Amino acid sequence: MKVPMQVVNDAEGKAHAVLIPVDEFNELVGKLRHYEQLLKLRSTLSIALDQVARMRSGKLKKRTLKDALREA
């Protein structure tokens, strides 16, 4: 995606802000939210799979799906 933007610099030439069109900003925010949801799901699944492995190895007490859903 090629986003038209303007950089706002101070008197010394240091960048302090970037201006982008509102539509582009909204699209970027939407993508960011989507990726945040994917990361949260991935983390949750990783934790769940780790718990299953620990249950199978006997390091964690087994429980029913009904019990697990009740805790959620």
pTM of the model: 0.63
The DSSP output letter for 11 is T
Residue with tokens 């539509």: 23
Q: What single letter denotes the amino acid at residue 18?
A: V
Q: What single letter denotes the amino acid at residue 33?
A: R
Q: Which positions of the chain have pLDDT values less than 70?
A: 1, 72
Other C-beta atoms closer than 10 Å to the C-beta of 51 total 14
> What local confidence, expressed as pLDDT, does residue 57 receive?
95
Residue 35 β-bridge partners: none
Query: Collapsing DSSP states into helix, strand and coil, what is residue 9?
Result: strand
